[in-house]
Chains A and B, each alone.
Chain A
Amino acid sequence: MKQKQPRGGGPSGRAVNAALGAAGLAAFLALGEVVPRLGIVKERYFPPTSRIARALGDEITDGTFWTDLGDTLTGWALGLVIAVGAGIVAGVVISVVPYLREATASTIEFLRPIPSVALIPLAVLLYGTELRSVLLLVVYASFWQVLVQVMYGVRDVDPVAEETARSYGLGTWARVRHVLWPTALPYVMTGVRLAAAVALILTVTAELVIGAPGLGARIAVAQTSQAVPEMYALIVVTGLLGLLINVGARSVERHALAWHQSVRGEVAV
């Protein structure tokens, strides 16, 4: 049972890729340092990398920064958990109950494209600048990502696997658990990964626009008080969060789907 070499040509190829990636990032950071210093762009609006790095250092030694980061992560995580839970339950129920898919399809197609930010006025009316305002927007945006993927996944159930399960007397619940859920899991994972990214975008947006406490609100404060390097430093933090979330989601995916063709690769027997 030998595993074929993954794309990229094995460990040495991966090392080369990592080196190239690091070099690219270093070049980008160097460019950000040099361009403002040469006066090509105004330093006031576009501070050099080193200045942003210093501002970032000041931020992380400030206690209120961590409180704001905590608020952002709370909004993100709570919103994501609610959206994923609701998306999975709704997706499975809509797919399993006869006629429900047909009955809900048009409504879903109407509601799904509504941009979550269009609900900001509603959120403010309902909840003001509370966390619940953030959650409304985050859940609305992420829910559809999960729901749509779950519904695709459920449709992917192999008829032979389904017949096998039925012929061995597996009831509805056992078939959902042992056939439908594992089949849909790769799709669910994709949905969760997309939802995690969308949830972060909406959390920061809500904080920025509504003023709910968090990194977004902190960026707005930095901007209005002309603390431009601090504003950039906070933007860098949100970027890093997004990166961490994506890396985390991918590693969970690889772990949970070790059996799946996309992860296991081609197996030579």
Chain B
Amino acid sequence: MHASLVVSGLRKVYEGSGRRVEAVRDLTFTVDAGELVCLVGPSGCGKTTLLKCMGGLLTPTSGEVLVGGRRVSGPPPGMAFVFQEYGRSLFPWMRVGANVELPLKQKDLSKARRRELVADALESVGLADAAGAYPWQLSGGMQQRVAIARALAYEPEVLLMDEPFAAVDAQTRADLEDLVRRLWRQRGITILFVTHDIDEAVYLGERVLILSASPTVVQEQLKVDLPQERDQLRTRVAPRFAELRTHVYEQIQAAKRGEPS
């Protein structure tokens, strides 16, 4: 299986007004095509810096990011982003349908094809009827579904999700987690899911990457050997789930204290 996303020797140092902050020291990892990987780490561990470097929004000090084999120097065409702040990431002046369609207008697609992609994406997040509504007329969970639909319609090779469910309530969150699992299995996209929630990381991921405290390195990579079929009730009480989450928890505590794994 070839790697969809390669991060090698990534380092980012912020320089400004006599202060020099090394946010990311040396990050190397790969995400295979069609894999769902969760990234967890202690708070302030440089996740945002890493994501911005991967998304081509920030230039790393050294090292490189490859998406689909191509080196990232600006926002890569094969990558879609889902942000935590759905309320600010969706445009309130556009209806839901137009929000989902906007990124497609940058691609060379016919109008009919764009419509098809928008309808299909909204359908698969369960919002087929919401195309004519404004985002602010929807609940928080529905707004994040719209943001997910926008990413799906873009047909990305890699989907980056930056703590997407940190701002929704617990029940909605469980629904959205299952939605991500389902979409991942149906569409076979590569997903890198960043979260600070250990349970969420173990529940969702096929693999969990644990980051150290800043300056960031990869603390540990953990394979999640839970069955493919997961559900909120049974998976979360399985003994193996408890072992894995305990392990991740300990690693993060160790990372906070600055101990190597």
Interface, chain A (partner B; CB < 8 A): 1, 158, 160-161, 163-164, 166-171, 174, 178-179, 182, 185, 259-261, 264, 267, 269
Contacts and interface: CB of A to CB of B under 8 A. Distances in A.
A179 B139 CA distance: 23
A192 B139 CA distance: 34
A39 to B, nearest CB: 60
Contacts of B80: 167-168
Contacts of B69: none
What 6 pairs between A and B have smallest CB-CB spacing?
A: A168-B103, A160-B88, A182-B93, A167-B81, A164-B89, A259-B93
A161 B91 contact: yes
A41 B85 CA distance: 65
Contact of B137 (A1, A174, A182): A1
Nearest to B85: A160
Nearest to B138: A269
Interface string B67-107: 00000000101011101010011011110000000110110
Nearest to A264: B136
Contacts of A166: 57, 75
A206 to B, nearest CB: 38
Contacts of A182: 91, 93
Given A1-B137, A264-B136, A267-B136, A167 B55 contact: yes
A161 B136 contact: no
B241 interface: no
Contacts of A179: 91
B85 A259 contact: no
A259 B92 contact: yes
B231 to A, nearest CB: 28
A170 B103 CA distance: 7
A174 B105 CA distance: 10
B91 A178 contact: yes
A166 B79 CA distance: 11
A166 B150 CA distance: 14
Contact of B75 (A169, A185, A261, A264): A169
Nearest to A186: B93
B203 interface: no
B134 A259 contact: yes
Contacts, number: 63
A160 B81 CA distance: 11
B165 interface: no
Given A160-B88, A161-B88, A168-B81, 14 more contacts: A166-B57, A167-B79, A167-B80, A168-B102, A168-B150, A168-B154, A169-B103, A174-B105, A178-B91, A185-B93, A259-B92, A259-B93, A267-B137, A269-B139
Given A179-B91, A267-B137, A269-B138, A164 B83 contact: yes
Nearest to A159: B88
A174 B102 CA distance: 10
B129 to A, nearest CB: 13
Contacts of B77: 169
Contacts of A174: 105-106
Interface string B111-144: 0000000000000000000000010111100000
B106 A161 contact: no
B139 to A, nearest CB: 5
A264 B93 CA distance: 11
A261 B135 CA distance: 12
Given A167-B57, A168-B102, A168-B103, A161 B137 contact: no
Interface centre among A167, A260, A267 (most CB of B within 10 A): A167
Interface centre among B92, B150, B154 (most CB of A within 10 A): B92
Contact of B102 (A1, A171, A178, A267): A178
Nearest to B135: A259
10 contacts: A160-B83, A160-B89, A161-B89, A161-B91, A166-B57, A167-B75, A167-B80, A169-B103, A259-B93, A261-B92
A171 B93 contact: no
A266 to B, nearest CB: 10
A183 B91 CA distance: 9
A200 B150 CA distance: 46
Contacts of B150: 168
Contact of A163 (B57, B94, B103): B57
A98 B138 CA distance: 37
Contacts of A259: 92-93, 134, 136
B252 to A, nearest CB: 27
A168 B75 contact: yes
A167 B150 CA distance: 12
A1 B92 CA distance: 16
A43 to B, nearest CB: 56
Nearest to A158: B88
A2 to B, nearest CB: 11
